[in-house]
């Protein structure tokens, strides 16, 4: 370690411990960062794009049930959801 690293390690001892653990457990850190990447790719980015937590089944059912309750008809529900961008035309229309 150079002088600067020693100074940082003196002020923040957890930094030194973190560096030592990182050197010992590169595979574990790779898996941790890969998991964080997948979490970001699968949940955080879609939630930002669709403005609702996309892919969470319970929330999706509650959300669309609330939207369906506010509509007067089934076609009104679909038109409302398509206009607001909640659904696309590939949505399984026959299941509702």
- Residue 2: both structure tokens together: 């150079």
How high is the pLDDT of residue 58?
63
Q: What pLDDT does 47 receive?
A: 74
Mean pLDDT, 10 residues at a time, the chain of 96 residues = 59 71 73 88 77 64 83 85 76 55
Structure tokens at 30: 């790779």
pLDDT, position 6: 62
- Give the Cα separation of 28 and 25 in Å (integer): 5
pLDDT at 3: 62
Structure pTM? 0.36
Non-local (6+) Cβ contacts of 70 within 8 A are: 80
Per-residue model confidence (pLDDT) at position 37: 92
The pLDDT value recorded for residue 77 is 84
d(CA 53, CA 59): 7
Domain boundaries, the chain: 1-50, 56-96
């Amino acid at each position: 370690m150079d002088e600067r690293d020693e100074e940082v390690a003196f002020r923040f001892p957890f930094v030194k411990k973190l560096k030592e653990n990182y050197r010992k457990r590169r595979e574990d850190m790779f898996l941790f960062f890969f998991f964080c990447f997948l979490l970001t790719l699968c949940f955080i980015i879609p939630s930002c794009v669709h403005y609702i937590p996309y892919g969470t089944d319970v929330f999706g059912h509650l959300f669309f049930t609330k939207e369906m309750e506010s509509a007067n008809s089934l076609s009104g529900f679909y038109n409302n959801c398509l206009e607001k961008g909640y659904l696309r035309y590939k949505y399984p229309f026959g299941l509702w």
